[in-house]
Chains A and B, each alone.
Chain A
């Protein structure tokens, strides 16, 4: 008995790991009737794998049997891998006992498509329902939206899930058509917008009728695979921006493609996943969501790719030197936020602290800004007068010479000759 469940868990966790989302934040579900579980609004990473990724949820597939043959997917029909399927009871028991031991925040359940969309979605919903209604489980549940599932099933899923997600897979329609001819972005857009509208509808009803149940309280997210197809960074981020705006997504995840197939349309097995590129895309995503940048300022026809050697915020600042230096003691909060080396926390502290007197560089350092980076872009109470400002490329070299990027070193799979 225990060997069989171990084998299933190994197969179905391994097959689920390419979905990078593991977020458990954003829900406000409370423990009622002395059941098990209580959402933590900020989410909790209970451990981290050796690749440095957060483990927050029990992330598994219900089954890795699939009727589709998407080239980028490890569970594609034509792939020769071991197949397995959990029963509803097995998933419920694993989730409950892992949660009781404080291993996880909840369950992230996805699945290969067996038979058809509705049949698969119905099984996912049944598990969530059993956890909520029979086991009084109030932990986090992230359910995958199966493209093509009926609206009735999606509505039912939304009543039990905290988050739902559906993956774009490839950043552009053309890229998707190349690797998964059966799929299209329209299959993703329809359920995204249906659930988005339902969330709004439930929220409106809640204002009138207090007993209205929660509906996907932690919102929706999506994922794109990066580097399997030849999109530019601009195409990727414009697409992300569109989905953030049109579907009110909580997150877009960027997953560097890890070669899992000998398909000649994609990078070959053994080539390094594009980790640096992935990192730069996430930095851009953060600049859009928390730093008040418009995606067109960072990426445009003149600059369709993000710099490799420096981060996008520094890169933007160096291209716009006419806007610097700014005076820390008078500048607008929005502009302080744009200084390389100053984050949201420090910017807030600066704006509060300067009411008590002009700030000096030693105070800025204590507040926690990265002074060695920021100093080229700011003036403060003890800044010395500078006759001619250094040029952008000089600043870039100065900053690069002082910092040691973890990415500039020789990649692990490259031989060093000496």
Chain B
């Protein structure tokens, strides 16, 4: 079996599908460079990204599956998980090799894998909408650092743009080292090169760069969080299930 190695991008993945149909090698294994471990006597093919080929594959998929499934495909891709790359590849081939409507076959391993991964990515996207906490800086920018399990920033940009249309904000993915900046007009991708007063790894901004009222609101929110709890119903298991511990360091109400 041939192993196709691609660069981890969506364009690379789609190019791989194109190459597969051009070469018809039987069956292949698809891995990204970061996950690739060379094995003795293994036949490999390095995929060279090709925008035209990728676009043709995407257009081909678009003809056969609904916009809803295209979005599932894209969202599954954003999970960046090693297993899902192979499933995305297999799914694309399954769609091309079968008549229209094949994506409804939840008995097929790749269809169900995409469907499940889409659900996980959606959950993470939803969590970011819920768990992002802005802190207002002295110059009026609302800043929120996050570390999502999946690369969901592209999926939440329009949500935050519509919601916080009258305030400048930054959402920064500390894990993937890029962020979104809204300047009251449009959302742009940004990368922090060197920020002297903000340590790139730290979650909460030092108090000297914060707006005067920021600490009061954080305190009031903490108070509210405690007052609205009913101790007679305490259920920490359920609490942790809904608010997994890995998110606690970003949550204002979980400090102190």
Q: How far is the CA of A406 from the CA of B238 in the complex (A)?
A: 11
Asked whether A46 lies within 8 Å of B235 as measured between CB atoms, the reply is no
Q: Which of A317-342 contact B (CB under 8 A)?
A: none
- How close is B189's CB to chain A, nearest CB, in angstroms? 20
CB atoms of A357 and B224 under 8 A apart = no
Q: Does B229 contact A (CB under 8 A)?
A: yes
A94 is an interface residue with CB less than 8 A from chain B = yes
B217 at the interface (CB under 8 A from A): yes
Residue B105, interface by CB 8 Å: yes
List CB contacts (< 8 Å) of B230-256 with chain A: 230-239, 241-243, 251-253
Within B213-235, the residues touching A (CB, 8 Å) are 213, 216-217, 219-221, 223-225, 227-235
- Note all chain A residues with C-beta closer than 8 A to B228: 13-14, 16-17, 49, 55, 59
Q: Which residues of B contact A49 (CB under 8 A)?
A: 225, 228-230, 239
Q: B235 touching A52 by the CB < 8 A rule?
A: yes
The one of A6, A37, A50, A406 in contact with B239, judged by C-beta atoms closer than 8 angstroms, is A50
Contacts of B104 in A (CB 8 A): 352-353, 355-356
- Binary A-proximity of B177-198 (CB < 8 A = 1, otherwise 0): 0000000100000000000000
Query: Given that A47-B243, A359-B107 are known contacts, is A100 also in contact with B229, CB under 8 Å in the complex?
Result: no
Question: Is B21 close to A, CB under 8 A?
Answer: no
B24 interface contact, C-beta 8 A: no
CA distance A13 to B223 in the complex (A): 9
The interface residues of chain B lying within 8 Å CB-to-CB of A35 are 165-166
Count of chain B residues with a beta carbon within 8 Å of a chain A beta carbon: 57
Instruction: For A259, list chain B residues within 8 Å (CB).
Output: 232
B130 near A273: Cβ-Cβ < 8 Å: no
Q: Across the interface, do B129 and A50 meet the contact criterion of CB distance under 8 Å?
A: no
For residue A366, CB closer than 8 A to chain B, the reply is yes
Contact B242 A13 (CB under 8 A): no
A329–B139 CA distance with the chains assembled, in angstroms:
63
Query: Within A234-268, which residues are at the interface with B (CB < 8 Å)?
Result: 256, 258-259
A51 part of interface (Cβ distance < 8 Å): yes
The minimal Cβ–Cβ distance linking B30 to chain A, given in whole angstroms, is 21
The complex places the Cα of A98 from the Cα of B222 at a distance, in Å, of 11
Is the CB of A58 closer than 8 A to any CB of chain B?
A: yes
Minimum CB distance partner of B241 in chain A: A52
Residues of B within 8 A of A55 (CB): 225, 228
* Pairwise interchain contact B220-A6, C-beta atoms closer than 8 A: yes
Q: Given A51-B235, A273-B232: A6 and B219 within 8 A (CB)?
A: yes
Give residues 43-63 of A contacting B (CB, 8 Å).
44-55, 58-59
Q: In the complex, what residues of B have CB within 8 A of residue A17's CB?
A: 227-230
Pair B164/A100 contact, Cβ less than 8 Å: yes
Given A352-B104, A356-B107, A50-B227 contact (CB < 8 Å): no
Whether B223 pairs with A6 at a CB distance below 8 angstroms is yes
- Would you call B70 an interface residue if the criterion is a C-beta within 8 Å of the partner chain's C-beta atoms? no
- Most chain-A Cβ atoms within 10 A of its Cβ — which of B108, B116, B134, B224? B224
A103-B252, A363-B107, A367-B112 given; A50·B235 CB < 8 A: yes
User: A388 interface residue, CB < 8 Å from B?
Assistant: no
Q: Which residues of B contact A126 (CB under 8 A)?
A: none
Contact A357 B223 (CB under 8 A): no
| A97 interface residue per 8 A CB criterion | yes
Chain B neighbourhood of A102, CB < 8 A: 132-134, 144
Contact B217 A366 (CB under 8 A): no
Asked if A128 is an interface residue, CB under 8 A from chain B, the answer is no
Given A101-B136, A355-B104, the answer on whether A37 and B163 have CB atoms closer than 8 Å is yes
How many angstroms between the C-alpha atoms of A354 and B107 in the bound complex?
8
Q: Which residues of A contact B234 (CB under 8 A)?
A: 50-51
Which of B112, B116, B236 neighbours the largest number of chain A CB atoms within 10 Å of its CB?
A: B112
Residue from A38, A273, A354 within 8 A of B163 (CB atoms): A38
In the assembled complex, the CB of A374 is this many whole angstroms from the nearest CB of chain B, namely: 16
Tell me whether B27 is interfacial, beta carbon within 8 Å. Answer: no
Assembled-state Cα–Cα distance A113/B116 (Å): 49
Contact pick for B133, options A34, A53, A101, A366, CB 8 Å: A101
Query: Is A40 an interface residue, CB under 8 A from the partner?
Result: yes
Interface residues of B in 130-188 (CB under 8 A from A): 130-136, 142, 144, 159, 162-167, 184
The interface of chain B, by Cβ under 8 A from chain A, is: 102, 104-109, 112, 115-116, 126, 129-136, 142, 144, 159, 162-167, 184, 213, 216-217, 219-221, 223-225, 227-239, 241-243, 251-253
Interface pairs A-B: 9 shortest CB-CB: A52-B238, A51-B233, A353-B106, A13-B227, A49-B229, A48-B242, A356-B105, A349-B106, A52-B235
A/B interface sample: 22 pairs, CB < 8 A: A9-B224, A13-B227, A14-B227, A17-B227, A17-B230, A34-B165, A35-B166, A36-B166, A36-B167, A40-B129, A46-B131, A50-B239, A52-B235, A52-B239, A98-B224, A100-B167, A101-B134, A101-B252, A259-B232, A355-B104, A359-B107, A367-B106
